[in-house]
Structure 1
Amino acid sequence: MTDSKTGKIRDEVLDEKVLSAIIEVKTKLERIPEYLQTLEDIQTELDTVFSVGVASKCLSDGSVPHQQWVEKAGYKLSLNGKTNLGLGRPLFKEETA
């Protein structure tokens, strides 16, 4: 990537074909409907299929923080997702309030 702010990809890789690509975005929960709407708006401009996943850390009560925002955008969640148990070497230290 030549410009991470705009997402500009290096010219020499623009015509490469890939079997699978993952684009990850970090945003505030309240912006989820905006992102989902943008993806819906541009889907006809893409010459491929794509799927979207939304993920966040579950709250202590087991609830999913992004669920209300996904539903507000008109989508339903499939709550059978990936769970990371963190069995490897801990790299992240959670801040306590």
Structure 2
Amino acid sequence: MSDTVTLSGTVADVFAHRFTLKGEGGTVLADLGPKGAERIRLAPGDVVTVTGDAKPSEIKVRTVLRAGETVEVPQGPKPHGKPHGRPGDRSEAA
């Protein structure tokens, strides 16, 4: 089970649908997911507050507050349609 966290800071770098957020507690990797990156375009220097699920290596973002506007980040299956933790069919790999 994930813990819900809220973090504020400045966007340092953007990598497709992920970005680094520098705040008082250090730098965190945040994941908008592909659909979220389509909904909100972030740039280095943006000051944001994000709420999401804390994972071991990142936060899975659910909302972004920037300049007084809150954006809901769509949640959904991974683009290949298979949930996390379920192995793929090896016959599909070739």
Bigger radius of gyration? 1
TM-score when scaled to structure 1?
A: 0.23
Higher strand fraction: Structure 1 or Structure 2?
2
Which structure is higher in helix share? 1
Give the structure, 1 or 2, with the largest relative contact order (CA under 8 Å, sep 6 or more).
Answer: 2
TM-score, normalised with respect to structure 2:
0.23
